[in-house]
Chains A and B, each alone.
Chain A
Amino acid sequence: EDQVTQSPEALRLQEGESSSLNCSYTVSGLRGLFWYRQDPGKGPEFLFTLYSAGEEKEKERLKATLTKKESFLHITAPKPEDSATYLCAVQYNAGNNRKLIWGLGTSLAVNP
Chain B
Amino acid sequence: DTAVSQTPKYLVTQMGNDKSIKCEQNLGHDTMYWYKQDSKKFLKIMFSYNNKELIINETVPNRFSPKSPDKAHLNLHINSLELGDSAVYFCASSQTGSRERTFSYEQYFGPGTRLTVT
Q: With a CB–CB cut-off of 8 A, which chain A residues contact B102?
A: 98
Tell me how many residues of B have a C-beta within 8 Å of chain A.
Answer: 23
In the assembled complex, the Cα of A46 lies from the Cα of B92 at a distance in Å of 11
Tell me how many residues of A have a C-beta within 8 Å of chain B.
Answer: 21
Q: Contact residues of B with A, CB < 8 Å?
A: 4, 40-45, 56, 90, 92, 100-112
A91: nearest residue on chain B (CB-CB)? B103
A30-52 contact mask (Cβ, 8 Å, vs B): 1 or 0: 01101000000111111001000
**Contact status of A91 and B110, CB under 8 A, knowing A43-B4, A102-B43, A102-B44:** no
Q: With a CB–CB cut-off of 8 A, which chain A residues contact B100?
A: 98
Q: Does A62 contact B (CB under 8 A)?
A: no
**Contact status of A43 and B90, CB under 8 A, knowing A102-B44, A104-B40:** yes
